[in-house]
Chain A
Amino acid sequence: MNIVVLAKLVPDLVEELEINDSGTGLDMTWLRLIINELDDHAIEQAILLKEKSPAHVTIMAPDIEGVDDILFTAAAKGADRMIKILGDFEEGMTNHALSRVYANILPDLNPDLILTGVQAHEDLDGSVGPLLAAFLKMPYIGYVAGVSIENGNILATKEYPGGLNAEMSATLPVVLGIQAAETPPRYVAVSKVRQAMKSSEIEEIEASELDASGSTLVERMYTPKVGEGATILEGDLEEVADNLIEIFKEMGVL
Chain B
Amino acid sequence: MTATATQAPELSFSDTFYTSLFDVADGERIRTCLQCGNCSGVCPFGYLMGFPPGRMIAHLRAGRFENVLESDSVWMCVSCYACTTACPKEIPLTPGLLTRTKEEMLLAGNVPTELQDALMNSQRYGNPMGESPRKRSLWTKGLDFEVPIFKEANRHVNVLWFVSDYPSYHPRVQLTTQAMAKILHILGVDFAILGPEENSDGDSQRLAGERGLFEMLAEKNGKAFSKYDFDTIITSDPHAYNAFKNEYPTLGISYPVQHFTEYVAERIDELIPHLEENGVRRVTYHDPCYLGRANGVYDAPRTLLKAIPGVELVEMPHSRSTSLCCGGGGGGMWLDGFQWEKAHVRLSEWRIQEAVNVNADILAVACPYEPPRFEDAAKMVQGAGRLVVKDIAELLADSIGDMD
Residues of chain A lying within 8 A (CB to CB) of residue B106: 187, 189
Q: Are B130 and A14 in contact (CB under 8 A)?
A: yes
Q: Are A190 and B123 in contact (CB under 8 A)?
A: yes
Interface size counted on chain A using CB atoms at 8 A: 15
Residues of chain B lying within 8 A (CB to CB) of residue A187: 106, 109, 111, 116, 119-120
Evaluate whether A34 and B132 lie within 8 angstroms (CB atoms) in the complex, with A190-B210, A192-B212 already known: no
Whether B186 sits at the interface, judged by CB under 8 Å, is: no
Residues of chain B lying within 8 A (CB to CB) of residue A188: 109
Q: Is the interface of B mostly helix, strand, loop or mixed?
A: helix
User: Range of interface residues on chain B?
Assistant: 20 to 34
Q: Are A189 and B210 in contact (CB under 8 A)?
A: yes
Whether A186 sits at the interface, judged by CB under 8 Å, is: yes
Evaluate whether A191 and B119 lie within 8 angstroms (CB atoms) in the complex, with A14-B131, A15-B132, A184-B113 already known: no
Report A2 CB to chain B, min CB distance, Å: 25
Whether A137 sits at the interface, judged by CB under 8 Å, is: no
Residues of chain A lying within 8 A (CB to CB) of residue B134: 15, 30
Give the complex CA separation of A170 and B107 in angstroms: 36
Give the complex CA separation of A199 and B216 in angstroms: 19
> Quick one: which of B107, B125, B130, B132 contacts A189, CB cutoff 8 A?
B107
Whether B213 sits at the interface, judged by CB under 8 Å, is: yes
Residues of chain A lying within 8 A (CB to CB) of residue B211: 191
Q: Which of B109-132 contact A (CB under 8 A)?
A: 109, 111, 113, 116, 119-120, 123-125, 130-132
Q: Are B109 and A194 in contact (CB under 8 A)?
A: no
Report A238 CB to chain B, min CB distance, Å: 14
Report A133 CB to chain B, min CB distance, Å: 31
Residues of chain A lying within 8 A (CB to CB) of residue B119: 187
Q: Are A192 and B124 in contact (CB under 8 A)?
A: no
Q: Which of A173-204 contact B (CB under 8 A)?
A: 184, 186-194
Give the complex CA separation of A30 and B196 in angstroms: 13
Q: Which of B81-130 contact A (CB under 8 A)?
A: 106-107, 109, 111, 113, 116, 119-120, 123-125, 130
Report A73 CB to chain B, min CB distance, Å: 9
Q: Is the interface of A mostly helix, strand, loop or mixed?
A: loop
> Quick one: which of A14, A190, A193, A194 contacts B132, CB cutoff 8 A?
A14
Question: Would you give the 0/1 interface string for B134-167, flagging 1 where the beta carbon is closer than 8 Å to chain A?
Answer: 1000000000000000000000000000000000
Give the complex CA separation of A34 and B132 in angstroms: 13
Evaluate whether A190 and B212 lie within 8 angstroms (CB atoms) in the complex, with A14-B125, A184-B113 already known: yes
Question: Would you give the 0/1 interface string for A1-42, flagging 1 where the beta carbon is closer than 8 Å to chain B?
Answer: 000000000000011100000000000001000100000000
Q: Are B212 and A194 in contact (CB under 8 A)?
A: yes
Report A207 CB to chain B, min CB distance, Å: 27
Residues of chain A lying within 8 A (CB to CB) of residue B113: 184
Give the complex CA separation of A189 and B124 in angstroms: 13
Residues of chain A lying within 8 A (CB to CB) of residue B131: 14
Give the complex CA separation of A186 and B119 in angstroms: 11
Give the complex CA separation of A191 and B119 in angstroms: 13
Report A31 CB to chain B, min CB distance, Å: 12
Give the complex CA separation of A194 and B119 in angstroms: 16
Residues of chain A lying within 8 A (CB to CB) of residue B212: 189-194
Residues of chain B lying within 8 A (CB to CB) of residue A193: 212
Report B175 CB to chain A, min CB distance, Å: 12
Give the complex CA separation of A184 and B115 in angstroms: 13
Give the complex CA separation of A190 and B119 in angstroms: 10
Give the complex CA separation of A249 and B131 in angstroms: 37
Report B213 CB to chain A, min CB distance, Å: 4
Chain B residue, CB-CB nearest to A14: B132
Residues of chain B lying within 8 A (CB to CB) of residue A192: 107, 212
Give the complex CA separation of A190 and B109 in angstroms: 12
Report A61 CB to chain B, min CB distance, Å: 17
Give the complex CA separation of A189 and B212 in angstroms: 7
Q: Are A186 and B109 in contact (CB under 8 A)?
A: yes
Give the complex CA separation of A232 and B119 in angstroms: 37
Q: Are B107 and A191 in contact (CB under 8 A)?
A: yes
Q: Are B125 and A190 in contact (CB under 8 A)?
A: no
Residues of chain A lying within 8 A (CB to CB) of residue B111: 187
Residues of chain A lying within 8 A (CB to CB) of residue B123: 190
Report A52 CB to chain B, min CB distance, Å: 16
Give the complex CA separation of A188 and B107 in angstroms: 7
Give the complex CA separation of A192 and B211 in angstroms: 11
Report A41 CB to chain B, min CB distance, Å: 14
Residues of chain B lying within 8 A (CB to CB) of residue A191: 107, 211-212
Q: Which residues of B contact A (CB under 8 A)?
A: 106-107, 109, 111, 113, 116, 119-120, 123-125, 130-132, 134, 210-213, 215-216
Give 28 A-B contacts (CB < 8 Å), ordered by A residue. Answer: A14-B125, A14-B131, A15-B132, A16-B132, A34-B124, A186-B109, A186-B116, A187-B106, A187-B109, A187-B111, A187-B116, A187-B119, A187-B120, A189-B106, A189-B107, A189-B210, A189-B212, A189-B213, A190-B210, A190-B215, A190-B216, A191-B107, A191-B211, A191-B212, A192-B107, A192-B212, A193-B212, A194-B212
Q: A15-B134, A190-B216 are in contact. List 4 more A-B contacts (CB 8 A).
A: A15-B132, A34-B124, A187-B120, A191-B211
**Shortest Cβ-Cβ A-B pairs, 10 listed:** A190-B212, A191-B212, A187-B116, A190-B213, A14-B132, A15-B132, A189-B106, A190-B216, A189-B212, A189-B107
